[in-house]
C-alpha cells in the first residue's frame, strides 16, 4: 500500500484593506456608474436620432420605411462605431485608419444633423419654430458624439485602473 504524505500549505497572510484603497475602490465604482449613465443617455439619444433620421431620409428620398431605417442605422451607428474604434485602438493603428475614420465621422455627423434638422423642421409653421427645430436637429448628433467620447473615456479609464 502506498503511504501518502499530506503537506498543509500555509495560507497567504491577509492584508488589511487601507482606507485609501477603499476610497479608491469607491471612486472607481462611482466613475463606472457615471460611465453607464452617460452611455444610457447616449443610447437614448441615438434611438431618437435613428427615428428622426429615418423619417428625414424617407421624406427626402421617397424610399420605403425599411430602407430609410437601414440608412439611418448605417449613418448613426456607423459614426458611433467608428468613434469607439478610434478610442479603443493603439496610436499606430489610429494613425493608419484615422485618415479614413475622421472624414467618415465628420460626414456622418453632418448627414445625421441635416436629416434630424429636416425631420424636426418638416412639421413647423413659423420661422421661430423652424430655427428651434433645426437647432434641436443639429444638437442631437453633437450630443451623441460628446456623450460617446466621454462615456467611453470613463469606461476605458476605470477598467485600465482596476486591472
Predicted confidence at residue 18, as pLDDT, reads: 60
d(CA 79, CA 113): 12
- Does residue 100 lie in a domain region? yes
| Enclosing domain of residue 78 | 27-162
- Does residue 19 lie in a domain region? no
To which residue does cell 485609501 refer? 20
d(CA 78, CA 3): 67
- Does residue 140 lie in a domain region? yes
Q: What is the mean pLDDT of residues 73-101?
A: 90
Number of domains, the chain = 1
- Does residue 3 lie in a domain region? no
- Does residue 12 lie in a domain region? no
75 has pLDDT over 60: yes
> CA nearest 105: which of 82, 137, 139?
82
- Does residue 8 lie in a domain region? no
Question: What is residue 2's three-state secondary structure?
Answer: coil
Cβ neighbors of 124 (< 8 A, separation 6 or more) are 130, 132, 133
- Does residue 14 lie in a domain region? no
| 8 A C-beta contact, residue 117 and residue 139 | no
Instruction: Tell me what the pLDDT averaged over the chain comes to.
Output: 88
Predicted confidence at residue 87, as pLDDT, reads: 85
The DSSP 8-state label assigned to residue 159 in this structure reads: H
148 has pLDDT over 70: yes
- Does residue 57 lie in a domain region? yes
Residue of higher predicted confidence among 4 and 71: 71
Amino acid at each position: 500500500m502506498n503511504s501518502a504524505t499530506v503537506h498543509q500549505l500555509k495560507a497567504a497572510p491577509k492584508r488589511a484593506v487601507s482606507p485609501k484603497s477603499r476610497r479608491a475602490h469607491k471612486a472607481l465604482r462611482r466613475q463606472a456608474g457615471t460611465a453607464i449613465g452617460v452611455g444610457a443617455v447616449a443610447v437614448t439619444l441615438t434611438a431618437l436620432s435613428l427615428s428622426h433620421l429615418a423619417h428625414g431620409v424617407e421624406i427626402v428620398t421617397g424610399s420605403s420605411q425599411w430602407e430609410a431605417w437601414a440608412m439611418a442605422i448605417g449613418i448613426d451607428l456607423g459614426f458611433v462605431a467608428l468613434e469607439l474604434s478610434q478610442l479603443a485602438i493603439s496610436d499606430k493603428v489610429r494613425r493608419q485608419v484615422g485618415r479614413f475614420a475622421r472624414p467618415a465621422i465628420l460626414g456622418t455627423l453632418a448627414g445625421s444633423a441635416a436629416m434630424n434638422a429636416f425631420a424636426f423642421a418638416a412639421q413647423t409653421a413659423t420661422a421661430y419654430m423652424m430655427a428651434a427645430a433645426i437647432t434641436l436637429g443639429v444638437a442631437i448628433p453633437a450630443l451623441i458624439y460628446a456623450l460617446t467620447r466621454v462615456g467611453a473615456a470613463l469606461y476605458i479609464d476605470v477598467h485600465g485602473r482596476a486591472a
